[in-house]
Each structure stands twice: as C-alpha cells, then as structure tokens.
Amino acid sequence: MSNKLVPTALAAAFLLTACAGGEEPKTPPIAINEDPYPSTYVRYPGVPTVIRHATVFDGEGRQINDGTVVIADGVVKAVGGPELPTPAGAQEINGAGKWVTPGIIDVHSHLGDYPSPGVSSLSDGNEATSPVRPEVWAEHSVWPQDPGFSRALVNGGVTTMQILPGSANLFGGRSVVLKNVPARTTQGMKFPGAPYGLKMACGENPKRVYGSKGNMPQTRMGNIALTRQTWIKAQAYKRDWDKYEKEGGKMPDRDLAMDTLKGVLDGKILVQNHCYRADEMAIMMDMAKEFGYRVTAFHHAVEAYKIADLLRENDVCAVMWADWYGFKMESYDAIKENIPFVHNAGACAIVHSDDPNYIQRLNQEAAKALADGVRAGIPNLSEGVAWEWLSRNPAKALGILEKTGTLTPGKMADVVMWNGDPFSDYSRPERVWIDGALMYDANDPKRRPVSDFELGQPGQGDTK
C-alpha cells in the first residue's frame, strides 16, 4: 500500500507531523497516487507531410474532395482543399484516388488480454473468481506481443484501442486505452492522458458464470441487486475518503476495488457497460442516476435501436456490431439497421469489434451499416457522416476527443491513407500515421510491425 504513496506527499506528511503543537492535531491527508503505472509512450519521429488530391473524411461528418491534409510535429496542422500551402521542408504525397481519414478507434477490444495464440496460458481477460472485481486492471493482463495488434494496424487502420476485461463479472475491472504502437511494455503503449474505463456487465454472462457455481448472481435480478449493493459500499467508501481528504486524520483503509468505483463516482473513470437488451440498458441508466454516476457507453447494445431516444436523452453512446445476431439469447433481436437507427435518433453510435478478426474490417462493418440505413430510408447519411461511428464517437466514449478522433488542427496526427474508398470491401490502408509517425506503409515491408512471437516462425514478415 505504501508504495502507492507519492513521495512528496510522504515528505509533507512527515514535516507536518513533526511540528505538531499542543492540541492533538489531525494528521493532514496523504494524497494517493492515482497513476502508479503511468504511460511511458513517446511518439516516434515523423516527417512533415502533406497529402494532396485525396478524398478526405474529417471525422466530423464532412467529406472533402481534392482534399489536403497537413501533418507535422505529431499533430494535424491543417485540413482543407487544394489551396492549402505546403510548409517548407514537408514531403508531398499524391493522394489522387486515395482516401484519408482519422485512424479508426476500437472501443471494445481484447487484444493482449485474449491474444493470439488463443491458449489458456495467455487468456487473461476474465477474473471470474467473483462477480465483483473492480480491483483488476486490464493493463496488467495485456501481452504487448499479441500479433493481433499488427493486423489491426495494417489491415484495419486502427490507431487506438480500448482493451477491456471480459464480461463474466458485474464489475470486470479497469480498461486501458492503448495507442497501436508496439512497445516492450504495455505502459509503453498507453494512450497519454486517457481516462480509465470500468467494465461492467449486465445480462446473461454474469448470472450464468456464477449461477452455474451456485453463487449469486443466478438471475438478472440478482445481477442488479449485487451491483446496487456494491455501489452502496462504494458510496460509503467515497464518503470516508472525501472526509479524510478534506479534514485529514486517520486514513481510511484502502481498498483497490473501491478505489476504482470511487473513481467512477468522482467522474474520473468512465463506465463501459456490456449490455445487450433494451430493458436492461434502461435499468442501468436509472441505476447510474440512483448512485450518481454516468454510463458512458453500452457495449454490444444489440437492442439499442429499441431505446435510441433514451440513449440520446441520457447522452449514452451505443457500441454496436453491424450484423452479428442470434449467437445468444440476448442478441436474438439484432437488426442490421441498429447503428443507423441509433445515429438517426441523435444518439452516439459506435462500431466495435470485440474480435481480433473484425477489428481488421471495422470500416467494412460501418459500410454495411451505412448501406442498410440508407436502404431503410434514414435521411442525411453519407460516408463522411458514417465515419463518425469509427473515430469521433469512439474518441468521445473514451474521453479522448480533445486529443484524437477527428482531423482537427492541433489533434494527434492519427491518420490513415486508404488505397481506395474505405467503405469498399476492396480497400485497405496504404499508410498509417500515429502521432505523425509513419507506422505502416504497404509499399515498404520494413514499415510493418512483427511481434516477438512471430519472429523466426513460418510466415514471419509476410503480408498478412
């Protein structure tokens, strides 16, 4: 516990204790280090670059034909038409026939905690030993050598991912947001400044995992009761700590699980709630009101279309597949228009993968959803608008929209140049920049990550 204390706080505490006077003074509060495993990510060097004559989706809904994108110093410098000047010393890329977009952000991935190869030795996504495990952190499971990261980059154009714990538990633990830049450590991939998420789960999984062991929860009402009971504990914990942080005195016992839940109640940790059914999402939104927190996003949200208006009113994102259906009872009512219907209701729609294969084709998943929406008569849909489902809205759901997710000057230069319209099954990333550094170039076999696991194996460095 003490190794979580900030050294300066320790020193201050010592000084104040030493000069205590006559009246029994309250020990001033000691600040807890909320970031003991900080990001050590440092962007790689890039070359000032101007892409010209490309079709640009800026992620804010706009499509620019014959567009120009300027990146330098790790950030987007300018986005516009052919009139934009080329800064001195910048390299020019002819983007004619290419598309340029913000990098795709997958808010629901298990790369690293359910990596390839899918052997149990490496499967570290579910701490299925208790339905309440907010104390576990996904970053302590993530194996940065998962070869899946490279596939998501080169085939999927994915530049940022949220890695989540699994859904066996009502409280599955903290998520971690990663830049898709290989590193020796997971901390080396951590997105600087991204808030933590808390994985919660409704529905079939928690009740079945524990019900089958004869433990609570065995039912959906058991799910809700245990979740509420846990929030009650968290509120009490928060009260004790708020008082301590204000008044000092005896430090309350620390509890890692409650630390995470307190972070949610403090608004510092975003709730990422696995929830399929409309009725359960409605309950979870009311639960958030009952205990004073927000649900940031419902993940899988197969029935989001049934309550798209409620999602809009509560400002909760729905994280969805284009057409997965029926693989379990709570996905039985999936429809192919879920994403466009949620979008059309004015709510925040997001395309996600939850899968190491689908993460390589999120653009195609969005394309199908867009086409299904158009066929269903949803107005004002376009490819430019649909790109919001792939980068802007995901960035919003991860609390990093100020930093990435759109091609807005000043934001991180997380950029993909596609070899054709990314809403086509025939198109692939040609180049991918992350923080302005070229991390993938289809024309340069050396600009392609190969994980330690794949070195010296058959097919090493192959186009995958």
Partner 1 sequence: MIRRLTAALLLGVAAPLAAQTFVITGATVALGDGSAPIPNGQVVIRDGRVVAAGDIRMKLPADTQVIDATGKWVTPGIVAGFSRLGLAEVDLTASEEGGGGKSDTSGAADDSTSSGPFNAAIDVVPAINPLDTTIAVNRADGVTRALVAPNAGKNIFAGQGAVIDTGADMEPITAARKFQFVELGETGAGNAGGSRASAHIMFRNALREAAELRRYAPGIAASSGRTPDERERPVVQNPNESRVYSADARRSQDVLLTRFDAAALVPVLQGRQYLFVHVERASDIVQVLGLKRDFPALKIVLVGASEGWMVADRIAKAGIPVIASAVNDLPASFEQIAATQSNVGRMKNAGVHVSIGMIDDNDTRNLFMERQYAGNLVGLQKIPGATGVSWGEALAMITSRPAEAIGMGGEIGSLAAGRRADLVIWSGDPLEGTSGAEQVYIDGVRQPLDDHQTRLRDRYRYLERRDLPEAYRH
45 in Cβ contact with 267 (< 8 Å): no
Pairwise CA distance, residues 346 & 45, whole Å: 39
- Cα separations in angstroms, 330 against 3, 218, 276, 326, 365: 43, 16, 6, 8, 21
| Residue appearing with tokens 């991935």 | 109
CA angle (149 as vertex; 147, 155 as ends), nearest 5: 100
Annotate 402-432 with b (16+ C-beta within 10 A) or e (fewer): ebbbbbbeebbbbbbbbbebbbeeebbbbbb
Shortest reach from residue 238's CB to partner 1, in Å: 29
Name which of 380 and 443 has its Cβ closer to partner 1.
443
Name which of 250 and 446 has its Cβ closer to partner 1.
446
Shortest reach from residue 394's CB to partner 1, in Å: 20
In the DSSP assignment, the letter for residue 137 is: B
Pairwise CA distance, residues 273 & 290, whole Å: 16
Shortest reach from residue 432's CB to partner 1, in Å: 14
Query: Which stretches does DSSP call E strand in 6-131?
Result: 49-57, 63-72, 75-80, 91-94, 99-102, 104-109
Closest CA to 390 of 195, 163, 102: 102
Shortest reach from residue 454's CB to partner 1, in Å: 7
Name which of 43 and 328 has its Cβ closer to partner 1.
328
For residue 195, say if its preceding peptide bond is cis, omega within 30 degrees of 0: no
CA angle (385 as vertex; 348, 322 as ends), nearest 5: 65
Instruction: Return phi, psi of residue 206, to 5°.
Output: -60, -45
Name which of 57 and 191 has its Cβ closer to partner 1.
57
Shortest reach from residue 262's CB to partner 1, in Å: 26
- For the chain, give the longest Cα–Cα distance: 79
Shortest reach from residue 5's CB to partner 1, in Å: 35
Pairwise CA distance, residues 397 & 351, whole Å: 12
CA angle (354 as vertex; 349, 355 as ends), nearest 5: 130
Name which of 64 and 347 has its Cβ closer to partner 1.
347
Name which of 410 and 458 has its Cβ closer to partner 1.
458
Shortest reach from residue 306's CB to partner 1, in Å: 5
Structure tokens at 186: 């997971």
Shortest reach from residue 430's CB to partner 1, in Å: 9
Q: How far is CA 170 from the centre of its chain?
A: 19
Name which of 259 and 330 has its Cβ closer to partner 1.
330
Shortest reach from residue 157's CB to partner 1, in Å: 13
Name which of 39 and 363 has its Cβ closer to partner 1.
363
Pairwise CA distance, residues 330 & 356, whole Å: 22
Shortest reach from residue 397's CB to partner 1, in Å: 21
Name which of 13 and 366 has its Cβ closer to partner 1.
366
274 in Cβ contact with 131 (< 8 Å): no
Name which of 60 and 333 has its Cβ closer to partner 1.
333
Shortest reach from residue 119's CB to partner 1, in Å: 7
Name which of 186 and 427 has its Cβ closer to partner 1.
427
100 in Cβ contact with 69 (< 8 Å): yes
Pairing of strands 317-320, 295-300: parallel
Shortest reach from residue 105's CB to partner 1, in Å: 21
Name which of 93 and 168 has its Cβ closer to partner 1.
168
Closest CA to 187 of 177, 197, 200: 177
